[in-house]
Amino acid sequence: MKGTFPVNKFRELQTPFYYYDTKVLRDTLACVNRESAKYANYSVHYAMKANANPKVLSIIRESGLGADCVSGGEVRAAIKAGFPASKVVFAGVGKSDWEINLGLDYDIFCFNVESIPELEVINELAAAKGKVANVAFRINPNVGAHTHANITTGLAENKFGISMQDMDRVIDVALEMKNVKFIGLHFHIGSQILDMTDFVALCNRVNELQDKLEARRIQIEHINVGGGLGIDYDHPNRQSVPDFQKYFHVYATHLKLRSYQTLHFELGRAIVGQCGSLISKVLYVKQGANKQFAILDAGMTDLIRPALYQAYHKIENITSEEPVQAYDVVGPICESSDVFGKAIDLNKVRRGDLIALRSAGAYGEIMASGYNCRELPKGYTSDELI
């Protein structure tokens, strides 16, 4: 089954561009809110890195979620979009001084800290402003995730977080400092995770660490388990809203949250992934030696995931119902890796046809680049194209 698109409106626009179906986005947000509200003290932040298109952000902000940022630019974009600073968390292994200062100036809710040197800088910069910064420690839980190697983050070999052995020492250091307040622990094991047992493994690890803290009579109010819930790239229509019920239920069942604690989530892909498509025009159909190529005006500069992670995005010819043929679907960039899919069945393709690359709402537009001096793709919402 193909998606439904306002094809006539698309014909008036310069391709390639991102198209965001706001009904899918709003349905997804409603589901996140409904399912997380079933549990006391669950707080969901949107991971801005997945998509920071202002129109998308404004719909997400309206839904009441907080924001998870990984750069000063994202903190700014979150505040500009109207997310309250009291719901902004700021992570990242390498925060520059100006980025920390920005977070301090806005009085963001919490810095997720990944090393002692970073903690020292936050303490120093907060002291200079006469402030006390809330900090959570990002612990590397050494929990694997069944996903692409480039997007697992919670293994001991990854650069992220503080090792479990160092947790006690880091907490001791923080407790001695005057301008940071240690309020919680933060984790994130990876992205595009569909096997719930990975999250169960994280819960078990958090339980162990919580027991260790309790043995030391240290109470923390916040546990942040990051994001990572995957989406169904094979069937964007059949499952346009991810199974948040199952996801939150895993944490409710396996994580021993104390009554005074809040559990935070940082979901990116699961919130915006399915609402977005990259819309592109066919420039040429070229007959190769033993295959035919559909050459699009969108390339890896517009959507880098296939080239970078060998990621699959469903491809549809949205302007043809003619019988299906197989095509290698490629972009115009001067790189052999500029391929969206090989031997893809598409309704017969002709020059000028419109092609949708589905499930591209997360890590699509935001990862676009200007390589080959190309213009960045624009983003339109369905609300604008009525």
Binding-site ranges for ligand LLP (CB under 6 A):
47, 49-50, 68, 91, 151, 153, 188, 191-192, 226-229, 266-270, 305, 309, 362-363
- Judged by CB, which is closer to ligand LLP: 119, or 225? 225
- Judged by CB, which is closer to ligand LLP: 153, or 210? 153
- Judged by CB, which is closer to ligand LLP: 68, or 198? 68
Amino acid letter, 267: L
- Judged by CB, which is closer to ligand LLP: 271, or 349? 271
- Asked if the bond preceding 16 is cis, omega within 30° of 0, the reply is yes
What is the closest distance, in whole angstroms, from the C-beta atom of residue 191 to ligand LLP in the complex? 3
Tokens for 266, please give them. 């940082």
Q: What are the φ and ψ backbone dihedral angles of 190, each rounded to 5 degrees?
A: 150, -175
Q: Closest by alpha carbon to 162, among 186, 126, 195, 133?
A: 186
What is the closest distance, in whole angstroms, from the C-beta atom of residue 336 to ligand LLP in the complex? 20
Burial status of residue 343 (CB atoms within 10 A of its CB: 0-12, 13-18, 19 or more):
exposed
What is the closest distance, in whole angstroms, from the C-beta atom of residue 145 to ligand LLP in the complex? 10
What is the closest distance, in whole angstroms, from the C-beta atom of residue 268 to ligand LLP in the complex? 3
Answer left, alpha or beta for residue 36, where phi above 0 means left and psi between -120 and 50 means alpha: alpha
What is the closest distance, in whole angstroms, from the C-beta atom of residue 153 to ligand LLP in the complex? 6
Q: Closest by alpha carbon to 274, among 250, 244, 247, 296?
A: 244
What is the closest distance, in whole angstroms, from the C-beta atom of residue 304 to ligand LLP in the complex? 8
Q: Are the CB atoms for 49 and 78 separated by under 8 Å?
A: no
- Judged by CB, which is closer to ligand LLP: 85, or 93? 93
Spatial separation of the C-alpha atoms in residues 270 and 273, rounded to whole Å: 6
Spatial separation of the C-alpha atoms in residues 41 and 34, rounded to whole Å: 13
What is the closest distance, in whole angstroms, from the C-beta atom of residue 89 to ligand LLP in the complex? 9
Secondary structure (3-state) at 219: coil
- Judged by CB, which is closer to ligand LLP: 179, or 192? 192
- Judged by CB, which is closer to ligand LLP: 93, or 283? 93
- Judged by CB, which is closer to ligand LLP: 45, or 281? 45
Spatial separation of the C-alpha atoms in residues 164 and 316, rounded to whole Å: 46
What is the closest distance, in whole angstroms, from the C-beta atom of residue 137 to ligand LLP in the complex? 13
Q: Closest by alpha carbon to 311, among 74, 122, 150?
A: 150
Beta strands in 227-323 (DSSP E): 262-267, 276-287, 292-296, 315-317
Enter the DSSP assignment of 39. S
Enter the DSSP assignment of 197. H
Helices (H), 50-166: 54-62, 72-80, 97-106, 116-128
